[in-house]
Amino acid sequence: MSKKQSTSSDRMRVQAMQLLGRWTRLSAGHIALGAGCLCGASFGALQPSDYDEQIVAFLVGRHPRIKAIDHARLDQLLRAIANGAVARDASLTPPECQALLGDVERSLDSFDEVHRTGSKGI
């Protein structure tokens, strides 16, 4: 692997870990729904994991080769990117991994905008 490829790979791994940290914070907090949030008893059937599954399904639809890895949850997928398993086991090229990370980032931006208005950067 060339130095340029190694640097690109390192950046992707760091980005994956940053996105993992962001998802961990987002999924652990309040999820706003209209005038309420998921903390109320009336919303007991809806959990952050439901959004997790939807995000992963979206990502698999956009990047079908990631089916080759254990990616049932977004945190697992991001860890697989960080440790190189996505590139290795799903045979994704660095540009494909970068596109996948871009889709994860946009998904988290959307989730944050819809469910946590005003919490960006926290």
Low-confidence ranges of the chain (pLDDT < 50): 41, 45, 117-122
Does the pTM exceed 0.85?
no
- The pLDDT assigned to 121 comes to 46
Q: Residue 54's CB: how many other CB atoms inside 10 A?
A: 13
- Round to whole Å and give the CA distance between 32 and 94: 35
3-class SS at 21? helix
66 CB-near residues (< 8 Å, 6+ apart):
59, 60, 77, 86, 90, 92, 100
Scored b (16 or more CB within 10 A) or e, 11-26 reads: ebbebbeebbebbeeb
Dihedral (CA of 82, 88, 93, 97) sign: negative
- The pLDDT assigned to 120 comes to 46
Quote the tokens at residue 26.
Answer: 């987002």
